[in-house]
Amino acid sequence: MSRVIRFIARLYPLAWRRRYGVEFDALLEDVRPDGRTAADVFGGAIAMQIGNWKSWGILAVAALFGAAVIAGLFVANPKVYASKAVLKVEGQGSPHDSLDAINTMVTKVEGPAGLAELITTDNLYVSERSRMTLAELIEQMKKRIHITPVAPSAADFAVVFEYSDPRVAQKVTQDLAVRFLGENGVANTSTTLSILDPPMLPQSPIRPNEPLLAGLGAACFLLMWGALSVVRRIAARGHA
Amino acid sequence: MSDPSLLVLSSLADGDKHGYAMMEDIERFSGLRLGPGTLYGAITRLEQRGWIRPVASDDRRQPYTLTSAGREYLKDQLENLDRVVKSGLKRLRHA
Mean pLDDT per block of 10 residues along chain A (240 residues) reads 90 93 94 93 90 84 93 92 94 74 89 92 91 93 93 84 96 95 84 91 92 93 91 65
Range B15-28 average pLDDT: 96
Q: Which ipTM did the prediction report? A: 0.89
The DSSP call for residue A144 is T
Instruction: For chain B, give the percent of residues with pLDDT over 70.
Output: 98
CA distance B88 to chain A (A): 24
Spatial CB neighbours of A149, under 8 Å, sequence gap ≥ 6: A155, A156, A157, A158
pLDDT given for residue A239 in this prediction: 42
Q: What is the mean pLDDT of chain B?
A: 93
Contact A37 B20 (CB under 8 A): no
- Using a CB-CB cut-off of 8 Å, the residues of chain B touching A20 are 40, 43-44
Most B CBs within 10 Å: which of A18, A30, A49, A50, as the mutation test of the B interface? A30
Q: Is B44 on the interface with A (CB under 8 A)?
A: yes
Question: Which residues have CB under 8 Å from A101's CB, separation 6+?
Answer: A91, A184, A187, A189, A191
On whether the pTM is more than 0.90, the answer is no
pLDDT tens-digit map of B62-89: 999 999 999 999 999 999 999 999 999 9
Nearest to A115 by CA among A64, A65, A161: A161
Tell me how close the Cα of B62 comes to any Cα of chain A, in angstroms.
Answer: 6
Interchain contact, A47 vs B41, CB within 8 Å: yes
CB contact under 8 A, A27 and B41: no
Predicted confidence at residue A236, as pLDDT, reads 67
Length of chain B: 95
Phi, psi of B66 (to 5 degrees): -75, 140
Find, among A64, A58, A57, A45, the residue nearest to A235 by Cα.
A45
- Distance in Å, alpha carbon of B37 to nearest chain A alpha carbon: 4
* CB within 8 Å: A44 and B45: no
Q: What is the pLDDT of residue A240?
A: 38
Contacts of B24 (CB under 8 A, 6+ apart): none
**Of B78, B16, B91, B3, residue with least CA distance to A238:** B3
